[in-house]
């Protein structure tokens, strides 16, 4: 899933996005993938991919069950090479598109690549279907006979987890063939619509990212103006967003029904390799903690701001004693790199090329996709990080977060293409841990009680956004998909579902302005990755528990931590957490994670 906004000429790592109050910002150098969109290397790989897919099908279709262990290993390695080349092409096309989603040539190039690869890989659909028809005894004998093949057992386990939900070969082929004009086409419409939105606040026109940044300004009138302008523009486009969500939810429901999936969330749980009861325990623990976390904190903040009632534009407002100092890019880099090096010099060494070799695109530019991400590309290349850096302290934490993803992806790459990808529930581990390292370092260097209070409050707000807000988003998605199963939803219907989770999660401190009911419409996770959002809360709770082990002084913690990141997707969460004495299926696990947030709030109360 991609989307891009990008200038016509890609500049190298040393090129900036122009003078800003926070310095010259880096841009991607995508030449590590391909020199350009018309490069001979790209044409070579497209030709190779087409032929390799056809050859793979001719060699193996209808014959998997008759292979021996060595033959199946050859098959898996051939499949892995196909995934590598296809992933490289789509990474290049997608990252270019994300740089400038409103550029027609980039959008066309991305769509053409997507359609070509869908056609080329159509002959591969048989692979997972045939694997799932092989007897367990045959698979077990293969793994016993060949240690190199046994390394891929997690891949087979994940494929076979889908066995109960597998359709006929013909239907699976149909779903594959139409994929480029199904959900992915609606994703592209959503991305291009959001990237093209413009907002006018105080006489200045901005994109969504820059306008949302105004919600963290000291001046309350500016925050209010930005909120009302976001509401106005989203309201004008709400029919498009409603159509996208209605269509995608219905398409998902149809496929889930054909597959006999027991719930809309089942597919996400399977892809995350996590049991539904573990997610339910997480969700219930967080909802039960709302009064102790978000409700309690926002009451404190309401008093600090001197308000009788808070409005939604006050939620991310800075505290009165917080200064407006911007953090320039070199300073942000030093803060994060020092925090990483203090934990383990190896971590900083892995992170260094992101800054020096064009692996980060940091500037806010017209048409650029909003938000931030770390994309792993393929295991014989390297990850790329996208930011929309505006110099706020939260942007420094976002850098620490996405760089953590990048470090994780670099370490996991040694597993190879089919085993490196980490389930979403564990994919947030290194990112949230990187944030925590950066926060703890800054907190230890705070010079005054006021500075410490501002830092603690900022961290609590980030954790509430990561845990409370994301579980509220998850509940909204659950309600949306359940309601769509009963029929078409109007924009007002979806607005009402959104508001049903807002007061519950945020608490009594807030009033909600007219128009806030549309703020669900620009959140990309609902469109690109249904039910993704609980992974953030999962990751935060997991890291809080991990960090508690670290603080307790486990002498081997760093080694265990690096081994966990290197494992990528080769191990289940139970196996990865066991060396730390942790178990996500234990209800007390989530209580341990949430208690860290509660402890920070206790510190803030004690400072009153």
**Would you say 464 and 294 are in contact if contact means Cβ atoms under 8 Å apart?**
yes
Whole-number Å distance between alpha carbons of 293 and 222 = 28
Q: Does residue 17 have a pLDDT over 50?
A: no
Token pair 């070579």 is found at 44
**Helix/strand/coil for 205:** strand
Cα dihedral 521→527→532→537 (10° resolution): -10
Considering the chain, what is the average pLDDT of its residues? 91
CATH of domain 30-165: 1.20.140.70
Output 171 or 291, whichever has higher pLDDT: 291
pLDDT at 4: 27
- 180 pLDDT above the threshold of 90: no
Q: What is the CATH number of domain 329-463?
A: 3.40.390
Select the highest-mean-pLDDT range: 417-431, 464-478, 581-595.
Answer: 464-478
Q: What is the mean predicted confidence (pLDDT) over 104-108? A: 95
* pLDDT grade for 1, boundaries at 50, 70 and 90: very low
In angstroms, the CA 150 to CA 70 distance is 11
Give the pLDDT score at 586: 83
Cα separation, 336 vs 334, whole angstroms: 6
Q: Residue 419 phi/psi, 5° resolution?
A: -120, -5
State yes or no: pLDDT of 491 exceeds 50. yes
Q: What is the pLDDT of residue 227?
A: 97
Q: C-alpha angle 313/319/325, rounded to 5°?
A: 100
Cα dist from 283 to 10, 287, 541, whole Å: 43, 6, 11
Whether 329-463 and 30-165 are alike in CATH topology: the answer is no
- CA angle 98/173/68 to nearest 5° reads 105
Torsion angle of the four alpha carbons 226, 326, 298, 538, in this order, in degrees rounded to the nearest 10? 100
Q: Are 254 and 561 in contact (CB under 8 A)?
A: no
In this prediction, residue 593 has a pLDDT band, given cuts at 50, 70 and 90, of confident
- Of all residues in the chain, what percent are helix, strand and coil, respectively (each to 5)? 70, 5, 30
What is the reported pLDDT for 473? Answer: 97
Given a cut of 70, whether residue 5 has pLDDT beyond it is: no
Query: How large is the average pLDDT for residues 313-321?
Result: 93
Residue 466's alpha-carbon distances to 242, 369, 533, in angstroms, are 25, 21, 9
DSSP 260-297: T-SSTTHHHHHHHT--HHHHHHHHHHHHHHGGGTHHHH
Cβ density class 203-238: b for 16+ within 10 Å, e for less: eeebbbbbbbbbbbbeeeebbbbbbbbbbebbbebb
pLDDT of residue 160 exceeding 50, the answer is yes
CA–CA–CA angle 428, 389, 452 (5° rounding): 70
Q: Residue 176: its pLDDT value, please?
A: 83
Mean pLDDT of 557-564: 96
State whether residue 485 is helix, strand or coil.
Answer: coil
Quickly state the pLDDT bin for 20 (edges 50, 70, 90). Answer: low
Domains of the chain, residue spans:
30-165, 329-463
- At 349, the pLDDT band (50, 70, 90 cuts) reads very high
- What confidence score (pLDDT) does residue 7 get? 26
- Cα torsion through 544, 462, 248, 479, rounded to 10: 80
* pTM, rounded to two decimals: 0.82
Of residues 113, 127, 130, the one with CA closest to residue 33:
113
Residue range 383-438, pLDDT digits in tens? 999 999 999 888 999 999 999 999 999 999 999 999 999 887 788 899 999 999 99
Give the confidence band of 103 by pLDDT, cuts at 50, 70, 90. Answer: very high
Does the pLDDT value for residue 16 go beyond 60?
Answer: no
Question: Quick one: pLDDT at residue 3?
Answer: 30
Question: What confidence score (pLDDT) does residue 97 get?
Answer: 94
CA pair distance 29, 359, nearest whole angstrom = 7
Percent of the chain past pLDDT 70, that is, above it, reads 97
Closest CA to 463 of 427, 432, 431, 441: 432
Do the strands 373-375 and 360-361 form a parallel or antiparallel pair, or are they unpaired? unpaired
Two tokens, residue 105: 């040539």
Decide if 13 contacts 356 (C-beta within 8 A): yes
Q: Whole-angstrom Cα distance, residue 186 to residue 188?
A: 5
57-100 residue pLDDT tens: 999 999 999 999 999 999 999 999 999 999 999 999 999 999 99
Q: What does the pLDDT read at residue 209?
A: 86
Instruction: Spell out the residues 6+ positions from residue 228 whose beta carbon is closer than 8 angstroms to its own.
Output: 513, 515
Among 517, 446, 150, 509, residue whose Cα is nearest residue 295: 509
């Amino acid at each position: 899933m991609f989307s891009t906004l990008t200038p016509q000429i890609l500049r190298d790592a040393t090129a900036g996005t122009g003078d800003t109050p926070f310095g010259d910002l880096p841009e991607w150098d995508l030449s590590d993938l391909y020199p350009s969109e018309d490069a001979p290397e790209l044409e070579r790989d497209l030709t190779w991919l087409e032929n390799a897919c056809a050859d793979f099908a001719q060699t193996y279709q209808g014959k998997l069950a008759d292979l021996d262990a060595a033959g199946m290993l050859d098959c898996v390695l051939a499949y892995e090479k196909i995934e590598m080349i296809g992933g490289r092409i789509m990474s290049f096309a997608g990252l270019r598109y994300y740089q400038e989603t409103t550029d027609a040539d980039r959008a066309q190039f991305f769509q053409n690549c997507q359609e070509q690869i869908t056609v080329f890989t159509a002959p591969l659909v048989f692979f997972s279907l045939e694997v799932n028809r092989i007897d367990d005894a045959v698979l077990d004998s293969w793994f016993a006979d060949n240690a190199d093949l046994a390394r891929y057992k997690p891949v087979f386990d994940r494929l076979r987890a889908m066995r109960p939900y597998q359709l006929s070969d013909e239907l699976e082929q149909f779903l594959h063939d139409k994929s480029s004009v199904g959900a992915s086409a609606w994703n592209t419409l959503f991305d291009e619509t959001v990237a093209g939105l413009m907002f006018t606040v105080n006489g200045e026109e901005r994109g969504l990212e820059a306008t949302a940044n105004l919600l963290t300004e000291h001046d309350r009138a500016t925050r209010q103006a930005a909120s009302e302008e976001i509401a106005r523009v989203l309201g004008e486009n709400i029919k498009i967003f409603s159509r996208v969500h209605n269509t995608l939810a219905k398409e998902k429901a149809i496929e889930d029904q054909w597959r006999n999936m027991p719930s809309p969330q089942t597919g996400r749980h399977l892809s995350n390799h996590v049991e539904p009861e573990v997610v339910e325990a997480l969700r219930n623990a967080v909802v039960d903690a709302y009064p102790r976390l978000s409700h309690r904190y926002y009451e404190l903040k309401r008093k600090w701001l001197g308000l009788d009632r808070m409005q939604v534009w006050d939620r991310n407002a800075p505290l009165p004693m917080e200064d407006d100092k911007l953090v320039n890019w070199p300073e942000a880099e030093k803060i994060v790199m020092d925090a990483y090096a203090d934990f383990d010099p190896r971590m900083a060494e892995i992170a260094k090329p992101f800054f020096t070799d064009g692996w980060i695109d940091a500037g806010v530019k017209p048409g650029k996709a909003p938000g931030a991400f770390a994309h792993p590309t393929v295991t014989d290349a390297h990850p790329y990080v996208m930011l929309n850096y505006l110099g706020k302290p939260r942007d420094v934490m976002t850098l620490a977060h996405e760089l953590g993803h990048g470090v994780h992806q670099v370490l996991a790459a040694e597993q190879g293409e089919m085993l490196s990808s980490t389930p979403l529930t564990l994919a947030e581990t290194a990112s949230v841990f990187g944030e925590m390292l950066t926060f703890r370092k800054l907190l230890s260097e705070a010079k005054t009680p006021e500075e410490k209070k501002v830092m603690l409050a900022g961290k609590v707000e980030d954790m509430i956004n990561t845990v409370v807000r994301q579980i509220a988003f998850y509940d909204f998605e659950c309600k949306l998909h359940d309601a769509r199963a009963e029929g078409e939803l109007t924009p007002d219907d979806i607005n009402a579902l959104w508001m049903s989770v807002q007061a519950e999660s945020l608490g009594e401190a807030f009033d909600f302005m007219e128009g806030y009911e549309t703020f669900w419409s620009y959140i990309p996770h609902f469109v690109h990755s249904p039910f993704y959002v609980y992974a953030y809360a999962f990751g935060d709770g997991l890291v809080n528990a991990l960090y508690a082990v670290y603080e307790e002084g486990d002498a081997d913690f760093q080694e265990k931590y690096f081994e966990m990141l290197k494992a990528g997707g080769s191990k289940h969460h139970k196996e990865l957490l066991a060396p730390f004495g942790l178990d996500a299926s234990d209800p007390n696990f989530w209580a341990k994670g949430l208690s860290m947030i509660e402890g920070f709030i206790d510190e803030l109360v004690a400072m009153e």
